[in-house]
Amino acid sequence: MRQHAIPQNILDVEFKLFTKFTLKEFAYLAIGIGFGGVMIYLTASNIIPGILGIPVFIISSGAGIFLGLVPVNDQDADVFIKNYISAISNPTQRVWMNKDMREERSKPEVKPSEDGQIIPKDVKDKNKKIIGVGLDIKKEDAEVEDDIDMLDEELNVEENLTTPPIDPNLLVITDSNIANYQFNIKSLDRLPGNINAWLCTKDFKPIPNVIVYLKDSQQKVLYANRTGTNGYFLTNKMWDIGTYMLEFQHPVYKFPKVQLELSNRENKSPIKINNI
């Protein structure tokens, strides 16, 4: 048994101009066929060529009849076209984002610790006792409140890792010294690329609006982007192992060129680069 259709728009009654045609249907027919008739008249009077007038007459008249008389899915043709355009141009799914989701998607903020390391802002800084250069840096005897606060165990500082580069305008980062520049951030696994940088001043303040160019060993530009409010430059994909160059442009701050020897494709931790 066929289900009876539920009435829609019960109070939406259109005015009938004459017989069964509404004012809107009559307007479509009058405009479409009328314009087509004008084109036929101009063609018959040899004012315009028939190769132009006849196709325009057919298209104009057909459009008027289609919009005025032909229903599509139990809707007027113009209403169907309007709904179709709205459906393909507007999003059909909306996601509500709360404060926690917004914070997770935002770029992480970092801060300097007392010993010069870069740590996330929401992590408590642990006081360390430096015994000497080239020796182990050990934690003071203290009770740890939470295991999450223990970001690192005993750190080994070697002299060859803390030696500044010979050329201040060129910073060479390899597998042996990359640990001196990288730091962990929240939601690291969500970063799309594995070559990331954080640009800051010497007192660890982020520098926005720095144009960063990622180049290969042949100086071909592979990717370019501008740092945001938090000073992050994040790439868009996982780059293969090899040699890459990072170059920076800013109207106020100057940065060294960075030669990055990428040996671990899965390492996404950003590199701290401060101005010179």
Task: Report pLDDT digits (tens) over 185-212.
Answer: 877 888 889 999 999 998 889 999 999 9
Does residue 42 surpass a pLDDT of 60? Answer: yes
Res 111: pLDDT: 60
Task: Give the range among 44-58, 88-102, 176-190 with minimum mean pLDDT.
Answer: 88-102
Does residue 254 surpass a pLDDT of 90? Answer: yes
Task: Report pLDDT digits (tens) over 206-236.
Answer: 999 999 999 998 999 999 999 988 899 999 8
Res 32: pLDDT: 87
DSSP code of 179?
G
Res 207: pLDDT: 93
Mean pLDDT for the chain? 75
* Greatest CA separation for the chain: 104
Helices then strands, each counted (H, E), the chain: 5, 17
Task: Report pLDDT digits (tens) over 122-138.
Answer: 556 555 443 334 434 33
Helix 50-69 to helix 23-44 angle (10° resolution) is 170
With tokens 């196709």, the residue in question is: 55
Determine if residue 183 is left, alpha or beta; phi over 0 gives left, psi from -120 to 50 gives alpha, anything else beta: beta
- Asked whether the beta carbons of 151 and 239 are under 8 A apart, the reply is no
List domains and CATH numbers for the chain: 16-89 (no CATH), 158-274 (2.60.40.1120)
With tokens 């999003």, the residue in question is: 91
114: confidence class by pLDDT, cuts 50, 70, 90: low
